[in-house]
Amino acid sequence: MKADFLLAFLILVAGLSFPPGLRAGDVSLDVAAELRHGPSGLAVAPDNTLIVGLHQYFKTRERVIRVDRQGEWSAFPSEEVAAQEVAEGAEVLDSVMGVHGGDRGIVWMLDNGRRGEQIPKVVGWHFSDRKLHRVFHLPEPSTIATSFVADFAVDPGETHAYIADPASGVDAALIVLNLRTGVSRRLLQGHLSVVPQEIPLVVSGRKLHAECQDGSQAEPLAGVNPIALDKKAKYLYYGPLKGQKLYRIATSALNDASLGGEALAAAVEEYSAKPICDSIAIDTRDNIYVGDLTTNAIQVILPKDRRMIEYVADPKMAWPDGLTFGGDGRLYFYCSQLNRCSWFSVGQDETKAPFLVYRVKPLFQPMIANPLPDHNPLTEIRKLGERLKP
């Protein structure tokens, strides 16, 4: 009798933890690519190749690369644009922190300009036509002296881009860029939904401190960073990296230039709890996937009751970031190992290549066949999907 009661209880708990059709252990990780350097942004191109920004902390020559179906990589969109040393007045990529694949075949790149102290910008590139679409600069007052534009979302109609600027923490803000007029506006600066909470930044079990130029250590500020639109672009979801709450606001409010600061702040809704995270993505049924930095996991926030469940976890997933959906219906993300770079490791680079790009089956998303390559020329490792098996 007691055994039957215990079994029923365990089944009930399992049902509370996972939605129908998903059981613990059902979600497997596939390795989609292996990189030599830490990534900063990810998009899946129309041909299912990967467009990867390379993080400025690793000081790579290339700012953005394309990884093809065989695992070979090349500078993107070209050697001149993605790898040229910054020259005064040159329209080249400087420090790309976000990459977005648009529905019209345009690859959007968010460049914070902090390597060469350039004006931040958003660059659109026609993937199939192999030509520049447009460059949108983000001058003052949409950006400020402390700006460090970190991630962004582009609506399906490609009329607006919504940019997260964590800045120095207290002055964090959202930036709305009109992709038709080029006008950008800085919004919600200093609002509780964008500034970091006063909690420790713990990643993979270690409390992180930032290394300052004078050798001292400082608490990482980590303002607004994770940002995503639902599939109809009705709401923008966002929150501070170092924060335990996720917020949303109607895009109609963000796009209304007539709204004052108080009216805009009143439109912000506290949506759910979240872990410390750097990236989120939303599927067609409004499930929100969250890269959990603290536990090396992908969590999912379910829309029905806004509760959060663990979807997939692995100790190898150091700093899961860059969550995005590919045209094959799968969720892609990478692990940047940012917590191990010299910025957070008392000047010592503790990262170790390869930096892995993963893909997983989401909860509810139509999928098409898209086999992975069985060979990665960067590391000469074969059958990449087997690397994670014990």
Band of the pLDDT at 373, cuts 50, 70, 90?
low
Band of the pLDDT at 243, cuts 50, 70, 90?
very high
Neighbour tally for 23: CB within 10 Å = 11
Q: Which residue has the higher pLDDT, 301 or 92?
A: 301
pLDDT value for 153: 98
pLDDT value for 212: 65
pLDDT value for 308: 97
Band of the pLDDT at 215, cuts 50, 70, 90?
low
pLDDT value for 347: 66
Radius of gyration of the chain (CA): 20
* Residue found under tokens 């590391």: 379
Band of the pLDDT at 246, cuts 50, 70, 90?
very high
- Cα 52 from Cα 64, distance rounded (Å): 6
pLDDT value for 10: 34
Instruction: With beta carbons less than 8 A apart as the criterion, state whether 38 and 337 touch.
Output: yes
Query: In the sheet that 151-154 helps form, which strands lie side by side, from edge to edge?
Result: 151-154, 160-165, 173-178, 184-187
Amino acid at 282: I
Q: Which residue has the higher pLDDT, 271 or 316?
A: 271
Tens of pLDDT, residue by residue over 140-154, are 999 999 999 999 999
The DSSP code for 267 is T
Q: Would you state the structure tokens that stand for residue 152, as one six-digit string?
A: 């962004």
Choose the weakest-confidence range: 49-63, 126-140, 204-218, 328-342: 204-218
329 has a pLDDT exceeding 70: yes
Residue 356 sits at φ, ψ, to 5 deg, of -90, 140
pLDDT value for 6: 38
Tens of pLDDT, residue by residue over 335-363, are 999 888 776 766 677 888 899 999 999 99
Band of the pLDDT at 366, cuts 50, 70, 90?
confident
* Mean pLDDT over each residue of the chain, to the nearest integer: 85
Tens of pLDDT, residue by residue over 180-199, are 999 999 999 999 999 999 99
Tens of pLDDT, residue by residue over 41-88, are 999 999 889 999 999 888 888 999 999 888 889 999 988 887 766 544
Q: Would you state the structure tokens that stand for residue 234, as one six-digit string?
A: 């009705």
**Residue 18 CA from chain centroid, whole number:** 24
pLDDT value for 369: 78
Q: Which residue has the higher pLDDT, 120 or 365?
A: 120
* Residue found under tokens 């990529």: 93
Q: Would you state the structure tokens that stand for residue 324, as one six-digit string?
A: 């995005």
Band of the pLDDT at 3, cuts 50, 70, 90?
very low
Torsion of CA 322, 323, 326, 332, to 10 degrees: 90
Amino acid at 237: Y
pLDDT value for 103: 79
Tens of pLDDT, residue by residue over 261-281, are 999 999 999 999 999 999 999
Percent of the chain at pLDDT > 90 equals 63
The DSSP code for 70 is T
pLDDT value for 209: 77
Q: Which domains does the chain have, with CATH numbers?
A: 32-388 (2.120.10.30)
pLDDT value for 17: 41
pLDDT value for 12: 34
- Cα 373 from Cα 144, distance rounded (Å): 44
Choose the weakest-confidence range: 36-45, 273-282, 376-385: 376-385
Band of the pLDDT at 90, cuts 50, 70, 90?
low
Band of the pLDDT at 374, cuts 50, 70, 90?
low
